[in-house]
């Protein structure tokens, strides 16, 4: 399948039929973190290193959708120079369509197709981090959480969200004041909550400091560190969400709820 055919297939994920993936060592990295911490710039650095190592890398950048128009500014490409590095890198922006969990319902099928077509590493960059963004664990083999200084109480912000499911944490912008303190806070929190805490790596996507250490740590990740029951829960919820969205009565249920014909309970009845 050439790049044009691949792009066309990814535009129609409902039709994707891919064989079972993940028969080899892990290959799908989910990258999440609050807006402004430098996820895209850090992904750019990781992709550059992977390309130098001979990997074929595909990036799926998830962008938020407007709750009014449904449109999205698919702008992550502008912050990644590595996407123009040749035939061994493939970049695709996709919109959330305001779906719960922060990832499109067909994302898993898109990843399956990319892996089947020979992309040895797939990166999923999510919209943000927190309780509403943990659905990425249903698709990714490993999770990289990106944090940064000047975020206030990081632990308070993340304690109910993705932090406990992260396989590795990168504190980006380590050249700025407060980065060391944030890293130490995260390490302390992880030591209290996990038998084998996720590694915490200080780095800077802008200066390149710590990037080699981060990529090495990512490459050597073995088993996923997040609680298996939590990841299984998100996979089940993602599958249930897709079934609901594909239900033939879904559009009618939504319209009926919006115009007052149905209560929430009656709308749910339409989807059973």
pLDDT for res 206: 93
| Higher local confidence (pLDDT), 162 or 131 | 162
Residue keyed to tokens 């993340």:
158
Q: For residue range 222-233, what is the model confidence (pLDDT) as tens digits?
A: 777 665 676 677
Domain ranges of the chain: 3-226, 227-272
Listed range (77-86, 113-122, 209-218) with the worst mean pLDDT: 77-86
Class of residue 214 by CB neighbours under 10 A (exposed 0-12, middle 13-18, buried 19+): buried
Q: For residue range 60-113, what is the model confidence (pLDDT) as tens digits?
A: 988 764 444 444 444 454 555 666 668 899 998 887 654 554 456 678 888 989
Q: For residue range 23-74, what is the model confidence (pLDDT) as tens digits?
A: 567 899 999 888 888 999 999 999 999 999 999 999 998 876 444 444 444 4
pLDDT for res 104: 62
Q: For residue range 139-184, what is the model confidence (pLDDT) as tens digits?
A: 888 999 999 886 555 555 455 467 778 899 999 999 999 999 999 9
pLDDT for res 134: 67
Token pair recorded at residue 110:
């898109």
pLDDT for res 20: 55
Residues 6+ positions from 14 with CB-CB distance below 8 Å: 106, 109, 246
Q: Which CATH architecture has domain 3-226?
A: 3-Layer(aba) Sandwich (3.40)
Residues 6+ positions from 142 with CB-CB distance below 8 Å: 26, 28, 29, 30, 167, 168, 218, 221, 224
The pTM for the full model equals 0.80
């Amino acid at each position: 399948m050439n790049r044009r055919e691949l792009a066309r297939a990814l535009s129609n994920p409902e039709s994707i039929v891919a064989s079972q993936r993940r028969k080899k060592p892990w290959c799908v990295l989910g990258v999440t973190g609050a807006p402004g911490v430098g996820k895209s710039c850090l992904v750019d650095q990781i992709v550059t290193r992977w390309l130098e190592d001979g990997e074929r890398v595909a990036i799926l950048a998830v962008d938020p959708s407007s709750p009014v128009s449904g449109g999205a500014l698919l702008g992550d490409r502008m912050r990644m120079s590595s996407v123009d590095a040749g035939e061994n890198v493939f970049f695709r922006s996709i919109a959330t369509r305001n779906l719960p969990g922060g990832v499109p319902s067909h994302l898993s099928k898109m990843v399956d197709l990319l892996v089947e077509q020979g992309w040895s590493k797939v990166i999923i960059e999510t919209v943000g981090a927190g309780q509403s963004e943990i659905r990425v664990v249903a698709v990714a083999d490993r999770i990289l959480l990106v944090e940064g200084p000047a975020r206030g109480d990081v632990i308070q912000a993340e304690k109910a969200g993705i932090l406990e499911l992260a396989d590795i944490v990168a504190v980006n912008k380590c050249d700025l004041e407060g980065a060391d303190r944030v890293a130490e806070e995260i390490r302390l929190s992880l030591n209290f909550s996990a038998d084998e805490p996720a590694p915490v790596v200080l780095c800077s996507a802008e200066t390149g400091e710590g990037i080699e250490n981060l990529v090495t740590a990512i490459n050597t990740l073995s088993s996923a560190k997040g609680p298996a029951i939590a990841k299984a829960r998100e996979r089940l919820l993602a599958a249930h969400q897709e079934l609901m969205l594909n239900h033939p009565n879904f559009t009618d249920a939504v319209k009926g709820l919006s115009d007052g014909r149905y209560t929430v309970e009656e709308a749910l009845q339409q989807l059973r």
